[in-house]
């Protein structure tokens, strides 16, 4: 099983693809991860297009079998939340075009699955991503680690539900 995990955004979008690990020390092998950063001077449509194109390249290159999105988190900034919702809609269409079933987990569900606490900090989540995958000690943006956390959650949850 190969899972595409996405931390949706139009400024920065975390993307990760993980697969089931044959190493008993890890749940996941990281096949790919990145943070797509768009030009802040570009229009929203251009930024949305850049995110979709970047993720489609990842899908074509790594052939995931499932897509997992972080659920929409409503912050005080409703304009940002609405634009992130548009990104999520475009990503759902993209996943459908590539015959990928889409699964969704809330931030609290992801934290709970990885750390045992729905209130875990980003540092604790990143530490668990390192422990549960072969990502090692490389540094990455928070969005990339969030995507890895999302993908690992999906991999473990979907794998467990198939047993």
Q: What are the catalytic residues?
A: 7, 70, 143
Give φ, ψ of 39 to 5 degrees. -75, 115
Mind giving me the DSSP string for 65-128?
SEEEEEPP---S-HHHHHHHHHHHHHHHHHHHHTT--EEEE-HHHHHHHHHS-TT--HHHHHHH
Radius of gyration of the chain from its Cα atoms, rounded to whole angstroms: 15
The structure tokens 């047993």 sit at: 163
Q: How far apart are CA 22 and CA 4, in angstroms?
A: 18
* Cβ 8 vs Cβ 69: under 8 Å: yes
Buried b vs exposed e over 24-40: b needs ≥16 C-beta within 10 Å?
eebbbbbbbbbbbbbee
The first and second tokens of residue 39, run together, are 């030009």
């Amino acid at each position: 099983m190969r899972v595409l995990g996405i931390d949706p955004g139009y400024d920065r979008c975390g993307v990760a693809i993980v697969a089931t690990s044959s190493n008993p020390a890890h749940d996941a092998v990281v096949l790919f991860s990145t943070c797509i950063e768009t030009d802040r001077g570009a229009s929203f449509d251009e930024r949305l297009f850049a995110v979709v194109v970047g993720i489609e390249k990842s899908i074509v290159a790594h052939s995931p079998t499932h897509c997992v999105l972080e659920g929409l988190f409503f912050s005080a900034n409703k304009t940002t939340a609405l634009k992130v919702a548009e990104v999520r809609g475009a990503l759902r269409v993209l996943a459908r075009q590539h015959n990928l079933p889409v699964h969704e987990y809330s931030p609290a569900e992801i934290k709970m699955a990885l750390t045992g606490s729905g209130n875990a900090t980003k540092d604790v989540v990143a530490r668990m991503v390192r422990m549960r995958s072969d990502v090692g000690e490389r540094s990455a943006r928070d969005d990339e680690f969030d995507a890895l956390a999302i993908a690992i959650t999906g991999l473990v949850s979907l794998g467990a539900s198939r047993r």
